[in-house]
Each structure stands twice: as C-alpha cells, then as structure tokens.
Structure 1
Amino acid sequence: LDVGLGALGEQGMTDAIGLHGAPGASCPSFYLSFAELPPSEFMQVADSTWLVLSVVSNGRAPSGCQATGVTKIARSVIAPLAEHHVSVLMLSTYQTDFILVRERDLPVVIHTLAGEFDIYKEEGGECVPVTCDDVSNGFLKPKPGDPTLHPVQSPQTRFCVLTVAPDTLPAIATMLIDVLFYSHRFPSDLLLTSSTGELWRMVRIGGQPLGFDECGIVAQIAEPLAAADISAYYISTFNFDHALVPEEGIAEVIQLLQQRQESSR
C-alpha cells in the first residue's frame, strides 16, 4: 500500500508559527512561515514552533469512501494523535489538508503514525524518509479521560468552496491579498469549484477561545462525521474551530454532534 505523510518546510520540518490577536481583540489567527516579526501590542506569537504535515494518501480509508476534507483522515491521523494527547491545528484546502503539530511533539507523532504511514521530511526540495530511530524517544502512552466537549452552532450563512489553479497563483498573489482585505472584485476565470455547484454550511466549535493547548477538539468533530461518511473542511483558529459541511447534510451533522455531547454527559 503506497501511503505517505509528508512534512513540509525547507528548514528541516520547522516552518510555521501561529499568531492570534491580543486578548479581547476580534482579530483572526494566522499561520505564517517564520522569519522575523517585529514586536507589537496588537499581536501575540505562540511560544511553540509548529510543523506542517500533509497527508499524501490515506491508509485506513475504506475503498468506497467518497468523503473529502478532514473526514478522510479522521480515523488514520486525527483520532490516533488525539489518543496520544497531541494538540493539532487543522487547515483544510480544496487540494489537501494540512495538520500542524508542535515541534516538541514530533517524536510522539512519528511513533503514533509510523505503523500506518510512510513518513518523509522535505530537505532541499527532496523527500527524505523518516523512521522512529531518527527522532528522540518521546513516545507517550495514551492517558485515560475524555477531552472537553465544546458547544457547536451553525449560522445560516451559505458557503461555496473555491480554489485557485496552482499555476496561476504566483501571478495573482498580490492581487489575491488585495481582494481579501479590500473591496476590489476578484478577477474572472481564475477560480475553480465543484461542477455540481454544491453549497456548504459552517459549524462553529467552541463557546470561548480554544487556544493552542487542548487536545481532541478536531477529533470530536471529525470522528462522528467520518462514521457517517460526511465530508468536511476544517479550519482551526485561536478563538474557535470551524467545519464546513454540505448544506443538505447540516441537520444530520448537528444531530450527530449533539448526540455525541449528550452521550458524554
């Protein structure tokens, strides 16, 4: 079975940091490649370096599984890391899903996923295999106890998932930033979307800022959706997590998540 978990980043596997607004601010979180950031009263930098992992192909997904997004890696990646108390941040995109883990948790991640995946790191543009022997012994046995179950809610807003053709991104990067932060119209003929034109609804997870330390938040959403074969795109931020699910399945999603909360009381 040809599977792989690729670690991104030119500096070994260390290439990302998490940013969030100052306490009380309504600013979103950002994930940036770390170079040098000037001090600012409006910005706090997480004290940990995070490694960006991407799943090239999935080892445990059923052959008939049609789900996309975080759902397809819920059983093979998200759940095992939650069981070993590894905090993860998710960033789903149209092409793939990125999982951010703390650099200090890398030995646990390697030991946890090595039985299911071939793991590589990127060095000088080349993928180099990583084994358990290449990292210090940081394996942690699962601890008893369930994670905190956070409230969920779904606004009435409808979303359409779009992507930019990779070969056009370098030419429109500056224009894209302008569009995101200013009121210019997006250039035509550059966005791709599903041929079915399906719409998505958002499920917001959390009643207060979630932070970066708690484990199992992604798993408590992804696992029941995976069991029901429901696609979901997932985005983690400092304040809340957000899952995009197909609009026609929003009622079933809310019911599944509420049942999970009630059964854990």
Structure 2
Amino acid sequence: MLHVLLSFSSNFVCCYKAADLLEELPQTDYLQVGEAIWLALNVVSNGHSSTNSQTIGVTKIAKSVIAPLAQHNVSVFMLSTYQTDFIMVRESDLPAVICTLSEEFSIFKEENGESIPVDSGCVTNGFVKPKNVTSPTVHPVLSPKNQFCVMSLDPDTLPTIATTLMDVMFYSASLKPRPVEQDLDYIRFFSFSLIDGYISIVVDTQTQKRFPSNLLLTSASSELWRMVRIGGQPLGFDECGIVAQISEPLANADISAYYISTFNFDHALVPEEDIDNVITMLQRRQNGDR
C-alpha cells in the first residue's frame, strides 16, 4: 500500500518555512519571499521512501496525487531530488489536501522521528470543479538545447567541491537572466538541494566537467536529460494545475520526468531520447488537439 507521509521533520521543513529561515538572514529589499508557508508531502511505499527518483518519479504520482490536488484547486510546488520527490503545499491548504487524498492513501505525519496517522476528517476548500472540463497546457513551453545531468554526492565529500559550488552559484559568467520571450538555445540552470542529509545536483554537461567525476553519483543508466521550461512569464504561486498539465501527459506516455518548480518558472527534465515526442505532445495539447 502507498502512503502519503507529511514530512514535518525540522531537518526538511525548516528549509522551506520562510518564517524560520528568514530569522537567520539579514533584512534586505533584494530578497523576494512568497507570502505563504509551505509544507512537504512525500509519497512513500510501505512506509519507506524511494531510494531513486526514477523509481517513483513525478509522472508515477501524477494521476494519484498531483491531478486530484489540481482538480480541488490546490496549488503545489514540485521538487524532485535524486532520492525521491516532494510536493509542497500551502500550510493553509493542508486540511483540503488531507481530505482530497485520504480516500486513496493512508496519511501520516512525522513527529519526533515517528510516523503518526493523521485524522482524515474531511475539510474541503469549497472548490467544485465543473464537470467535463479538461485541463489543457495553457503556458508556453521552451526546450533549450543543452543537456543536463542529475547527480548526487556523499555529504562527507561536500567540502571537496565547496569552492566549485560557490563559483558556479555566485561567480560564473552570464548570471543575469535573458529576456523570457527569447528562444534560448542555451539556458543557465543549476540546482543544488540538501534535504535531510541527502544531496541532489542538476547541472548541464558543460558545468559538470568542472566537478571531480569520481565524487559524483549518477543513476544506473547515466542518461542525459533535456529540459522543458514552462511559462512565458513568471508563473506566481496562485495558479493551480501547472504541474498536472505537464506530468499527466508524460505519465500517460510512460515517460519519466525530474520536475523542479522555482520562484518564477517550472522545469521538467525528461530523457534526451524523449524530448521531441514530449514537445510535440505538449504543443498539441496547447493547441487543443488530443
């Protein structure tokens, strides 16, 4: 049986709770902060998280978790990692999330390292989706030509690459974003996450060459990934169904995906050999074709 684990452990949620993190940061007008506090949901099987993001993957939970939340007007912030996938929901939406998912899943919250069953008393957000209404892809998609790698790292070796990490994140050339409306052949994208001791890194193949290859762990297939960026302008956090609009068709086509929501845009990484089919499929949906 699958379970939804509401991961309230301090090691993870403190990274996403603005009220906690901002206390440690200096006040500045340059830092943009979303208004809501978000909580992490992690789909696990038999009480254990997946050990590889490709085992479950965002497309594998698209129909059972992501789509129902979109249908009940719940916004989500998606974060894939090398080990597993996390779905962020607003703290204020948590009762509606539990109500929506409790019919299909057993739901637990984590307290003091233990998983405790959650009362599934149904509290909706009052949203009723009109019948017979489909959710086409409404945002433009862009696919840069550069290739990406999804990797992990032993935390004990992190100091070895600390200088390279800092250089890539803060000092590399071309830090300023290009105009969104441009058709980009190359997009600068670097993702580093440290969650409960587990490290995930997403870099393009050129940046990967700057790191010691003997320290980086990749999936068994060592496949290369191509990106689909969703959004012609910053998406914001109030719109529902963005993740579902991408993940559902990929799930129907049995195409794996590594999904990262960011402050401005969403990004889906798909195996390189599938990129042409993915772009064609999403463009057809955007045009109303099936």
Normalised to the residue count of structure 1, the TM-score between the two structures is: 0.80
Q: Residue 204 of structure 2 aligns with which residue?
A: none
Letter in 2 for 1:149: V
2:83 aligned with 1:95, yes or no? yes
Structure 1, unmatched stretches of 5+, are 20-31, 59-65
Q: Does 1:246 align with 2:232?
A: no
**How far, CA to CA, are the matches of 2:36 and 2:104 in structure 1?**
27
- Give the secondary-structure state (helix, strand or coil) at the position aligned to 1:115: coil
Answering whether residue 72 of structure 2 is matched by residue 84 of structure 1, we say yes
| Counterpart amino acid of residue 168 in structure 1 | D
Matches of 1:114 and 1:106, distance apart in 2? 12
Matched residue SS, 2:61:
helix
Q: Is the 8 Å Cα contact of residues 89 and 236 (structure 1) preserved in structure 2?
A: yes
Matched with 2:9 is 10
Equivalent residue in structure 1 for 2:235, among 188, 210, 222:
210
In the TM superposition, residue 171 of structure 1 has moved relative to its aligned partner by 6.3
For residue 120 of structure 1, report the CA deviation from its aligned partner: 1.2
Superposed CA offset, 1:159-215 (max 9, x none) = 1211124x6377669567536425795345321112332111000101010011100
Query: Which moves more between the two structures, 189-198 or 247-256?
Result: 189-198
1:217-264 residue CA offsets vs partner (Å, 9 max, x unmatched): 000000000000000001111221100001001111011101111117
Partner amino acid for 1:137?
V
**Where does residue 129 of structure 1 map in the other structure?**
117
CA contact (8 A) 1:210 1:239 kept: yes
Query: Which residues of structure 2 form unaligned runs of 5+?
Result: 47-53, 173-206
CA positional deviation for 1:142:
2.9
| Per-residue deviation, 1:5 | 1.1
The residue matched to 2:243 in structure 1 has which SS? helix
Contact 1:14 1:49 in 2 (8 A): no
Separation in structure 2 between the aligned mates of residue 242 and residue 178 of structure 1, nearest angstrom: 23
For 2:108 and 2:22, the matched residues in 1 are separated by 23
Match of 1:142 in 2: 128
Flag the 1:33–1:254 CA change in 2: closer, same or farther, 3 A. Answer: farther
The amino acid of 2:67's aligned partner reads A
Cα separation, partners in 2 of 1:163 and 1:16, compared to 1, 3 Å: closer
- Secondary structure at 2:234's aligned position in 1? coil
SS at the partner of 1:112?
helix
1:37-116 paired onto structure 2 within 5 Å: 37-57=25-45, 68-116=56-104
Aligned: 1:191 with 2:179: no
Alpha-carbon RMSD across the aligned residues, in angstroms, is: 3.0
Report the more deviating stretch, 193-202 or 142-151. Answer: 142-151
Q: Which amino acid aligns with 2:126?
A: L
Distance (whole Å) between structure 2 residues aligned to residue 5 and residue 71 of structure 1: 16
Q: Return 217-226 or 109-118, whichever deviates more.
A: 109-118
In 2, the alpha carbon distance for the partners of 1:155 and 1:236 equals: 17
SS in structure 2 at match of 1:244: strand
- Are the aligned partners of 1:68 and 1:231 in contact in 2 as well (CA < 8 Å)? no
Once residues 161 and 98 of structure 2 are traced to their aligned partners in structure 1, the CA distance between those partners, rounded to angstroms, is 34
Q: Aligned pair in 2 of structure 1 residues 195, 14: CA closer, same or farther (>3 Å)? A: closer
Closer/same/farther in 2, CA of residues 209 and 232 from structure 1, 3 Å limit:
same
